[in-house]
Amino acid sequence: MVIERIEAQLPGVVLDRHDFRGDETVVVAGDRFLEVVDFIFGEGFQMLLDVTAVDREDREPRFDVVYHFLNLTSQDRLRIKVPVAEGCAVPSLVSRFKSADWSEREVFDLFGIPFEGHPNLSRLLMWEDFPGHPLRKDYPLDGGDRFCSQDIGASFAPEARSLNI
Amino acid sequence: MGAINLDDSVMTTRLDSVVNWARKNSLWPLPFGTACCAIEFMSMMSSRYDFSRFGAEALRFSPRQSDMLLVLGTVTNKQAPVLRQIYAQMAEPKWVVAVGVCASSGGMYRTYATLQGIDRVVPVDVYVPGCPPRPETMIYGVMQLQEQISRESLSSRKEHIERFYQSLARQEERQRASGQSGYQTVREMVLEAGEQGEQQIW
Amino acid sequence: MEPTPLAATPRPDGDRMIVNMGPSHPVTHGTLHIVLELEGEIIVKATPNIGYLHRGVEKLGENLTYQQFIPLTDRLNYCSSLMNNVGYTVAVEKLLGIQDPPRSRVLRVLCSELARIGDHLVCIGINAVDIGAFTAFLYLFRERETIYDLFEMMAGQRLHSSFTRIGGLFRDIPAEFEPLCEQFLESCPRTVDEMESLLTHNPIWAGRTKGVGAITPENAINWGYTGPCLRAAGVAQDLRKGQPYLDYDSYDFDIPVGTTGDVYDRYLVRTEEIRQSLGIVRQCLDRLKQLGPGPVIIDDYKIALPPKEKVYTRMESLIHHFKLIMHGIEMPVGEVYSATEAANGELGFYLVSHGGKSPYRIHVRPPCFPIFSSFDEQVRGRIIADAVSVLGGMNVIAGELDR
């Protein structure tokens, strides 16, 4: 499959791979990421569906930026994960895929991961001077608002009622 | 010249009754539609439930031309200052109906991004629960508002509207002083009120 | 009637005016904000500003169990809620490596197609209202009310039914469903014909929508378009045919493909999709008769709740019930991305599980997100009226755009 072709063309670039439930996934380092993308674009993976991230709070590097690609001719999918540490940047794909524009802005907004080379890296879903990055694991779900977990008129007990029963 | 019988052509009543009767039967809504409740509102306006029976067919998307603000759907923290501005621009008499649980109390979204009820930032007259409320429920909510309107007095400006405009002035002052955006100012006001156990910022 | 060519570049001596479209506006697509820089009536730059309906669904999902997330999926694309339920439960079932029973698969296809019809009815209706054709909206909403009646009969709620469960469905359809569905299959094609007679050959409609928002197939693919907007541009991509799920490869239907990708083609593609979906619903009803009665949820009580009679009479079922409610489902460790063909395009769910009762990360890939991000390119050099048509043709639903 395509992972074998990547390994044949660019040896040493694949740090890890799996195909859990049939989803082909490769883990690639940030500095060789653009080479891989250019190669798979030539292989037919011409649609970038989505860019998102996962905060692995108990691991270094902290974040995994996850890209999903689709090959319209063979209907194959590929997931590329790029591990990135706190504060480090990932190269932006905006020059190759216009769909990366807003997806990368959203990852920057919600996780705080900067993208190098993005023409307009500003917040997308939250307002410009919103403090913090909400989808990080250390950001509280209620954002500091007591009324999220306590009812109006109820006695304000110090323990908030959690959503998990 | 003999006496004229005016029994059939003169009606005696109080001024408030007549004015309230006119107001409650010609409520022009401003559908502040954000989410799913707006779709049920569209059903309510269509032929089966027919909201225009209540004098409310004239949907006015401009706050200057409407009297009833129907908040349909989730109001997020980013939307809160927008809602306040729209409410401020409406001319009196004006009423607010919070349609759906998201507008009434934040609904199932107990998160950093959702305002836990629009009554934290604007005064509300009627809360219509449901997720989304059926069109009949929304019509019932508007009928409750009509009952409320028929009992109003015309004497003075309503106290809650006065308090709202004072809170708007405080918000603008704070925004000018700190240089923050309107979104962040309103969010901080809401959080501070929450810290004190106060539900409302107006 | 050929549309008059518009100036592609602004006059250098013109004044620029900035106009806000939204976030509270009459174009009834949910809450969006577009900052338009205008020279006269010509749009020089359009900057969408989204996030006014960002409710924090993805973070909330990390604190809820997999079953508790189902009602949140309803409220993503709220015009076709059932498709979101189906998409999410298919993703969780992929993660678990299970499959729902045959009757449940047929019913899921049935309600997905009904939801798709409903979504297209709303989209075309709202597009028409924005352009000024109010009558089409009223006729189409009458059909949508019948779809609401069908959903209410199936699931108990008109709009947000949360009908699917992990491993199948909430319950089987009642006996009254089929006659009403047959009646719907008779009346809907007639309503769509009425709507087409109002719009398709109407010179005003054609003048407002032909040539507006045209896009080439390569550009559409690069922007990440999927769904009717991509098919209108000429790319025959439909997950129901390309990567079939829920036995879609066993149904007989066509996918309509346009030529120019403009708003008129998108309207035609959606209209034809309604007709094709009606055909699929007919096939589902026939298939249900063939299959006969059967279970609609998987028999594994570690995943699906046991029936109430068993919970009240057997100890083992009581314990299963308790564990499912209090501790959730035992999930394997891993990550999946599962996509279904929603009404707007490819709706994807990316689930990362660390084995706990809540997902470690849940991400929704909304179909209208990349489509709306191309709004600037689509309307530059055109007039404001075209911005309204293009917005209608894109079918932007703020619930799924912002999550």
CATH number for position C207: 1.10.645.10
Q: How many helices (H) and strands (E) does chain C have?
A: 17, 8
Residue contact B183–A127, C-beta within 8 A:
yes
Asked whether residue A149 is assigned to any structural domain, the reply reads: no
Residue contact C30–B32, C-beta within 8 A:
no
Q: Number of residue pairs across A and B with CB atoms under 8 Å? A: 53
Looking at chain A, which subunits does it touch, using at least 3 CB pairs closer than 8 Å as the criterion?
A: B, C
* Cβ–Cβ under 8 Å, residues C314 and C298: no
* Structural element, H or E, at residue B68: strand B68-72
C46-76 residue pLDDT tens:
999 999 999 999 999 998 899 999 999 999 9
Name the token pair of C56: 């924090």
A54 exposure class (CB count in 10 Å sphere: 0-12, 13-18, 19+): buried
B181 touches A: beta carbon within 8 Å: yes
The reply to whether omega before B132 is within 30° of 0 (cis) is yes
Q: How many domains does chain C have?
A: 1
**Residue C213: CA count within 13 A, CB half-sphere:** 32
CA distances from C223 to A91, B89, C101, C218, C227 (A): 18, 39, 37, 9, 13
* Chain C hits for A41, Cβ within 8 Å: none
Measured between alpha carbons, how far is A52 from C133 in angstroms, rounded to an integer? 40
CA neighbor of A122 nearest in space, from C138, A19, A114, B144: A114
Residue contact A165–C325, C-beta within 8 A:
yes
Residue contact A125–C402, C-beta within 8 A:
yes
Name the residue of chain B whose CA is nearest to A124's CA.
Answer: B78
| Res C11: pLDDT | 54
Return the amino acid letter for C181.
C
Mean pLDDT computed over B157-186: 90
* Chain B hits for A144, Cβ within 8 Å: 112, 191
Q: Which CATH class is domain B15-155?
A: alpha beta
The reply to whether omega before C3 is within 30° of 0 (cis) is no
Mutation site for B-interface testing, chosen from C25, C75, C142 by largest number of B Cβ within 10 Å: C75
| Residues 6 or more apart whose Cβ sits within 8 Å of residue B124 | B96, B97, B98, B104, B118
Residue with tokens 């008779």: C186
* Cβ–Cβ under 8 Å, residues C39 and C15: yes
B167 touches C: beta carbon within 8 Å: no
Measured between alpha carbons, how far is A106 from A125 in angstroms, rounded to an integer? 7
| Res C250: pLDDT | 93
Residue contact A128–B190, C-beta within 8 A:
no
Measured between alpha carbons, how far is C80 from C275 in angstroms, rounded to an integer? 17
| Res C4: pLDDT | 42
Return the amino acid letter for B180.
Q
CA neighbor of B148 nearest in space, from B117, B120, B123, B115: B123
Measured between alpha carbons, how far is A27 from C10 in angstroms, rounded to an integer? 47
Q: How many domains does chain A have?
A: 1
| Res B1: pLDDT | 57
CA distances from C159 to B38, B39, B182, C78, C145 (A): 11, 9, 34, 7, 10
CA neighbor of B130 nearest in space, from B41, B51, B45, B54: B41
Name the residue of chain A whose CA is nearest to C242's CA.
Answer: A75
Return the amino acid letter for C65.
T
CA neighbor of C231 nearest in space, from C223, C222, C221: C221
Asked whether residue A21 is assigned to any structural domain, the reply reads: yes
- A window 19-78, beta carbon within 8 A of C: 20-21, 23, 25, 46-50, 52, 54-55, 66, 68, 72, 75, 77
Distance from chain centroid for Cα B51: 17
| Res A158: pLDDT | 38
Report percent pLDDT > 90 for chain B: 41
Q: What is the CA radius of gyration of chain B?
A: 19
* Cβ–Cβ under 8 Å, residues C54 and C402: yes
Q: Identify the domain containing residue A80 by its residue range.
A: 2-127
* Cβ–Cβ under 8 Å, residues C394 and C372: yes
The maximal CA–CA distance of chain B, rounded, in angstroms, is 79
Asked whether residue C10 is assigned to any structural domain, the reply reads: no
Name the token pair of C233: 């541009």
**Bridge partners of C349?**
C338, C364
Measured between alpha carbons, how far is A34 from C392 in angstroms, rounded to an integer? 36
Residue with tokens 């959702």: B114
CA neighbor of C18 nearest in space, from C48, C49, C43: C43
Asked whether residue C366 is assigned to any structural domain, the reply reads: yes
Name the DSSP class of C328.
-
Q: Identify the domain containing residue C205 by its residue range.
A: 17-396
- pLDDT truncated to tens, each residue of chain C (403 aa)? 444 444 445 555 567 889 888 787 765 577 888 999 998 889 999 999 999 999 999 999 998 899 999 999 999 999 999 999 999 999 999 999 999 999 999 999 999 999 999 999 999 998 998 888 888 888 888 889 999 999 999 999 998 989 999 999 989 999 999 999 999 999 999 999 999 998 999 999 999 999 898 999 999 999 999 999 999 999 999 999 999 999 999 999 999 999 999 999 999 999 999 999 999 999 999 999 999 899 999 988 889 999 888 899 999 999 999 998 888 888 999 999 999 999 999 999 999 999 888 999 999 999 999 999 999 999 999 998 888 899 888 989 988 898 8
Going from N- to C-terminal start, the domains of chain B cover 15-155
A48-89 residue pLDDT tens:
999 999 999 888 889 999 999 999 999 999 999 999 998 899
Q: How many helices (H) and strands (E) does chain B have?
A: 7, 4
Name the token pair of B199: 């539900």
Distance from chain centroid for Cα B87: 8
Asked whether residue C403 is assigned to any structural domain, the reply reads: no
Residue contact A102–C336, C-beta within 8 A:
no
Mean pLDDT computed over B61-86: 91
CATH number at residue A90: 3.30.460.80
Beta sheet of A47-55, edge-to-edge order: A14-18, A25-28, A76-84, A63-71, A47-55
Beta carbons within 10 angstroms of residue C354's beta carbon? 14
Name the residue of chain B whose CA is nearest to A140's CA.
Answer: B112
Measured between alpha carbons, how far is C49 from A125 in angstroms, rounded to an integer? 8
Measured between alpha carbons, how far is C55 from B108 in angstroms, rounded to an integer? 10
A132-159 residue pLDDT tens:
999 999 998 888 887 777 654 443 333 4
Q: What is the pTM of this model?
A: 0.91
Measured between alpha carbons, how far is A111 from A128 in angstroms, rounded to an integer? 14
Predicted ipTM > 0.85 = yes
CA distances from C335 to A16, A54, C90, C247 (A): 14, 11, 14, 23
Averaged confidence pLDDT in chain C: 90
* Cβ–Cβ under 8 Å, residues C96 and C132: no
**Residue A118: CA count within 13 A, CB half-sphere:** 23
Name the token pair of B118: 């629009």
| Res C1: pLDDT | 40
| Res B199: pLDDT | 81
Return left, alpha or beta for C38; rule: phi > 0 is left, psi -120 to 50 is alpha, else beta: beta
